């Protein structure tokens, strides 16, 4: 009898885990007879088993639940929210009793109130909490998987025997070794499978979580699940559980609006949460999307400022994506009030930290008014990961490949090291990254200045450089969890063995960054807090040779991109040059005609509102601008770089001269006539990419369109005040007022001219 108890506990747990989701689904569709029957059967099974084990309290409670369900089945009672809550409470209570049984004690307690409520009494139920299951100690495996493992082991034994024979006979073990390798791979794959678990087990309790959350917040939301058949390492499932529940809490508490707000916004009163999982290469993607209010990035920034996380000026300068990243800043909660659900100190920073600790990543997208989507990317398994082996201070350490963005050789051209008192940074292609020397961080003997730097992604997407002496090969690492005394350092994520059987530590990129005081990554590169280094704020700038041959510099912050184009892409209209880049016409400065060059570099310079191009002969390097600049008589300024006079591009003058360039935010309206397939699919994208909003001709609006494009023979009445472009279908010479519709250059010029208001 005692022997059977663990089986009873395991079976009951399994039944209960499935039941929560079933009951919630049944509440949504009370007429679903099949579902009710299946719930009834599960409860009946638990009751029967408990009778067998002589557990009177368990029997009484499950009997009451069974009776209540039986009344619903026979139509004598309606499945209202009250009854469902009582049934869920009873299932929770049964779960607690099963936990107690596993601990070896007879469950104590009084269920009379609960039984009365199940029987239809109108008494208040205490609030229930969601069961938190302890880690399961048993694993159920399909027999065929065991068979596969067994046959794999047989293959291993046979291969070993063959290898032994080869060795005895001093034969080259080439083919036998291949056989052995194949057998090892088979067994490894099978054993990995034993560690895998369907995500169903993770998903099953979640509908219940959403239901409880809705009840607490007065919201209404439905959870749709997809991808429960995707398999993930058991340990990983456990590690993902808490972050996922936290994200779900946030989605209900902050994302989904109240039913009244939703109706006012023209949405269905019931919010929709979608949780999907899919495998993508060696990772599992888990996506949680909601159709709620979306994340107010301005409110996020304002809140971060009020909490003193960032300065007001800094916040104002942040682009939208970076503001969204503030969601993951420690100590931030956007809720106006700290509710029961969210804002309990477990924020998205903890979620991100937990996911990154296991080599995963969290990203978020949001559309104001339409909802948000969080994506968790976690590695398929914890046990075998690709990693880089590095050396520092005479010690070998491993770094998870997933954290490494790039490897650069220190001293290579384009890689500049800056050292200020107590802090160092690395400059690469205009990025300035905090530099940590691994030997220093670990207190190992200092090493030479050479070596390599790994660009590592720490938490929050911040990147920092880690200097090491040597980078060895990439290896598949069999990772074992680190013991608590190792985890306590915050530096290591696990241990592994090298090929020669020596233990090796696996570095935790985020932990290391935390220990070294790197939080903001690239931002932290700008000295500010450090008194010794704060005298001169370093302003990175791009050094280039202008087409006139002069060496000039432009602050890097203003450069959005660097392009290389054929000079044929540059056109002149009136006295203004334009360059076509990706069908987008940019006003071009710094260009003169009759250039002997066939290709030029275009610096795309933006002020956050509009963009212009600046033609240059070649890009030299990125530099740090000195604080002192010499004003030049004709406006602008010059600085000394390595003893050379460098002219600073006068951005204000440049933009003032090209003020007619289209404002990104104010796109002029272009009406398209005809409404046929060609206009819609061929022409419209071109017009829009040239910086217009489009609408069909006949579109009723008070706004005067800037441009109207229509076929040569269309005779619609045209609004006044707009420039009209007529397109003809034949390539040959036609009416001088028309443009052949595939004369792209002429069309783009017309578009550019229209946008410039000429």
Partner 1 sequence: MSGHFVIACLAGERVAFASEEIESVVEIGAIVPVPGAAPHVAGLAALRSRVLTVIDCTAAIAPGSATAQPRDALVAVQAGHAYALLVDRVEDALEATGEIAPPPAGLSDGWAGVVRGHVFAEGRLLLLLDVEALVTGTGDVRNAFNQPLTLRHYEAATAQGVSRT
Question: From CA 201, how far away is CA 640, in angstroms rounded?
Answer: 65
Which residues have a Cβ under 8 Å from the Cβ of 463 and sit 6 or more positions away? 405, 431, 433, 455, 456, 457, 521, 522
Decide if residue 503 touches partner 1 (CB under 8 A).
yes
Calculated CA dihedral for residues 198, 202, 208, 214, nearest 10 degrees: -130
Residue in the block written with tokens 């960032």 = 310
112 CA to centre of own chain: 49
Decide if residue 134 touches partner 1 (CB under 8 A).
no
Which region among 268-276, 338-346, 404-412, 503-511 touches partner 1 (by CB under 8 A)? 503-511
Decide if residue 156 touches partner 1 (CB under 8 A).
no
Decide if residue 679 touches partner 1 (CB under 8 A).
no
Which region among 150-158, 500-508, 550-558, 597-605 touches partner 1 (by CB under 8 A)? 500-508
Nearer to partner 1, 484 or 721 (CB): 484
CA end-to-end distance (rounded Å), the chain: 94
Nearer to partner 1, 66 or 391 (CB): 391
Site for partner 1 in 390-409 (CB under 8 A): 395
Decide if residue 188 touches partner 1 (CB under 8 A).
no
Q: Which two tokens stand for residue 178?
A: 């291949």
Helix (H, G, I), strand (E, B) or coil at 228: coil
Smallest distance from partner 1 to CB 441, Å: 8
Pairing relation of β-strands 384-392 and 470-478? antiparallel
What percent helix, strand, coil does the chain show, rounded to 5? 40, 30, 35
Smallest distance from partner 1 to CB 489, Å: 4
Decide if residue 486 touches partner 1 (CB under 8 A).
yes
Residue choice 496, 622, 694, 749 for contact with partner 1 (CB under 8 A): 496
Which region among 65-73, 140-148, 439-447, 680-688 touches partner 1 (by CB under 8 A)? 439-447
∠ at Cα 485 (461, 447), nearest 5°?
65
Which region among 137-145, 262-270, 381-389, 490-498 touches partner 1 (by CB under 8 A)? 490-498
Residue choice 174, 281, 485, 635 for contact with partner 1 (CB under 8 A): 485
- Which helix (H) or strand (E) segment holds residue 156: the answer is helix 143-168
Residue choice 165, 268, 344, 488 for contact with partner 1 (CB under 8 A): 488
Nearer to partner 1, 61 or 504 (CB): 504
Nearer to partner 1, 79 or 505 (CB): 505
Nearer to partner 1, 76 or 137 (CB): 137
Smallest distance from partner 1 to CB 11, Å: 25
Which region among 296-304, 501-509, 583-591, 631-639 touches partner 1 (by CB under 8 A)? 501-509
Smallest distance from partner 1 to CB 485, Å: 5
Residue choice 121, 483, 660, 664 for contact with partner 1 (CB under 8 A): 483
Strand ranges inside 626-747, DSSP E: 630-631, 637-641, 644-648, 669-672, 693-696, 707-711, 723-728, 738-740
Decide if residue 442 touches partner 1 (CB under 8 A).
yes
Helix (H, G, I), strand (E, B) or coil at 728: strand
Question: From CA 632, how far away is CA 270, in angstroms rounded?
Answer: 65
Decide if residue 481 touches partner 1 (CB under 8 A).
yes
Question: From CA 490, how far away is CA 184, in angstroms rounded?
Answer: 34
Q: Are 453 and 468 in contact (CB under 8 A)?
A: yes
Phi, psi at 187, each rounded to 5°: -65, -40
Residue choice 10, 18, 332, 444 for contact with partner 1 (CB under 8 A): 444
Nearer to partner 1, 184 or 285 (CB): 184
Decide if residue 423 touches partner 1 (CB under 8 A).
no
Q: Are 457 and 377 in contact (CB under 8 A)?
A: no
Decide if residue 516 touches partner 1 (CB under 8 A).
no
Question: From CA 95, how far away is CA 131, in angstroms rounded?
Answer: 7
Q: Are 441 and 358 in contact (CB under 8 A)?
A: no
Smallest distance from partner 1 to CB 392, Å: 9
Q: Are 622 and 427 in contact (CB under 8 A)?
A: yes
Residue in the block written with tokens 């090969």 = 473
- DSSP-derived secondary structure letter, 358: T
Nearer to partner 1, 361 or 482 (CB): 482
Residues touching partner 1, count (CB under 8 A) = 23
Q: Name the site residues for partner 1 (rule: CB under 8 A).
A: 395, 442-444, 480-481, 483-486, 488-489, 491-492, 495-497, 501-505, 515
């Amino acid at each position: 009898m005692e022997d059977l108890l663990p089986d009873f506990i395991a079976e009951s747990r399994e039944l209960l885990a499935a039941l929560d989701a079933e009951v919630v689904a049944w509440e949504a569709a009370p007429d679903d007879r099949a579902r009710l029957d299946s719930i009834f059967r599960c409860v009946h099974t638990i009751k029967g088993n408990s009778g067998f084990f002589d557990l009177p309290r368990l029997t009484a409670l499950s009997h009451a639940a069974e009776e209540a369900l039986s009344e619903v089945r026979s139509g004598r009672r309606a499945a209202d929210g009250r009854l469902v809550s009582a049934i869920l409470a009873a299932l929770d209570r049964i779960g607690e009793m099963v936990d107690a049984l596993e601990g070896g004690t007879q469950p104590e307690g009084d269920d009379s109130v609960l039984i009365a409520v199940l029987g239809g009494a109108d008494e208040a139920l205490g609030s229930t909490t969601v069961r938190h299951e302890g880690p399961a100690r048993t694993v159920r495996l399909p027999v065929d998987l065991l068979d596969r493992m067994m046959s794999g082991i047989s293959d291993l034994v046979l291969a070993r025997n063959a290898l032994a024979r080869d060795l005895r006979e001093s034969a080259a073990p080439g083919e036998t070794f291949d056989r052995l390798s194949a057998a090892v791979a088979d067994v490894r794959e099978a054993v990995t499978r034993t560690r895998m678990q369907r995500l169903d087990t993770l998903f099953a309790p979640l509908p219940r979580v959403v239901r409880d959350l809705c009840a607490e917040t007065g919201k209404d939301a439905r959870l749709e699940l997809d991808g429960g058949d995707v398999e993930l390492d058991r340990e990983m499932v456990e590690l993902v559980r808490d972050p996922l529940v936290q994200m779900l809490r946030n989605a209900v508490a902050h994302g989904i609006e109240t039913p009244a707000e939703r109706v006012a916004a023209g949405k269905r009163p019931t919010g929709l949460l979608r949780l999907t999982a899919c495998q993508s290469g060696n990772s599992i993607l888990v996506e949680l999307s909601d159709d709620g209010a979306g994340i107010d990035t301005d409110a996020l920034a304002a809140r971060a400022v009020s909490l003193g996380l960032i300065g007001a000026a800094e916040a104002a300068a942040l682009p939208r994506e970076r503001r969204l990243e503030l969601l993951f800043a420690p100590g931030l909660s956007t809720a106006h009030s700290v509710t029961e659900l969210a804002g309990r100190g477990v924020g998205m920073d903890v979620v991100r930290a937990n996911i990154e600790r296991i080599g995963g990543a969290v990203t978020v997208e949001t559309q104001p008014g339409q909802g948000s989507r969080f994506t968790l990317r976690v590695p398929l398994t914890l046990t075998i990961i690709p990693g880089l082996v590095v050396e520092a201070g005479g010690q070998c350490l491993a770094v998870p490949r997933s954290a490494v963005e790039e490897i650069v050789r220190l001293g290579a051209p384009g890689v500049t090291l800056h050292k200020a008192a107590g802090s160092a940074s690395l400059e690469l292609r205009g990025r300035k990254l905090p530099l940590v020397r691994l030997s220093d961080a670990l207190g190992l003997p200092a090493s030479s200045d050479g070596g390599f730097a790994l660009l590592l992604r720490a938490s929050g997407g911040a990147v920092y450089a880690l200097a090491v002496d040597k980078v060895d090969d990439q290896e598949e690492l069999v990772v074992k969890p680190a013991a608590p005394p190792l985890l306590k350092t915050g530096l290591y994520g696990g241990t592994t063995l090298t090929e020669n059987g020596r233990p090796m530590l696996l570095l935790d990129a985020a932990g290391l960054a935390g220990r070294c005081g790197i939080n903001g990554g690239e931002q932290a590169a700008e000295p500010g807090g450090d008194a010794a280094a704060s005298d001169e704020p370093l302003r990175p700038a791009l050094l280039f040779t202008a087409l006139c041959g002069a060496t000039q510099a432009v602050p890097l912050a203003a450069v959005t991109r660097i392009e290389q184009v054929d000079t044929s892409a540059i056109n002149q209209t009136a006295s203004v040059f334009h360059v076509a880049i990706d069908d987008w016409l940019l006003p071009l400065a710094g260009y003169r005609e009759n250039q002997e060059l066939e290709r030029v570099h275009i610096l795309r310079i933006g002020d956050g509102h509009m963009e212009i191009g600046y033609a240059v002969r070649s890009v030299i390097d990125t530099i740090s601008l000195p604080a002192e600049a010499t004003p030049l008589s004709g406006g602008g300024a010059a600085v000394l770089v390595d003893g050379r006079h460098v002219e600073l591009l006068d951005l204000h003058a440049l933009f003032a001269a090209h003020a007619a360039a289209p404002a990104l935010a104010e796109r002029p309206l272009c009406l398209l006539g005809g409404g046929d397939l060609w206009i819609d699919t061929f022409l419209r994208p071109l017009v829009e990419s040239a910086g217009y909003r489009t609408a069909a001709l006949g579109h009723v609006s008070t706004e005067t369109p800037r441009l109207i494009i229509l076929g040569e023979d269309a005779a619609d009445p045209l609004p006044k005040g707009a420039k009209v472009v007529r397109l003809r279908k034949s390539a040959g010479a036609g009416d001088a007022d028309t443009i052949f519709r595939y004369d792209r250059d002429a069309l783009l010029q017309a578009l550019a001219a229209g946008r410039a208001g000429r």
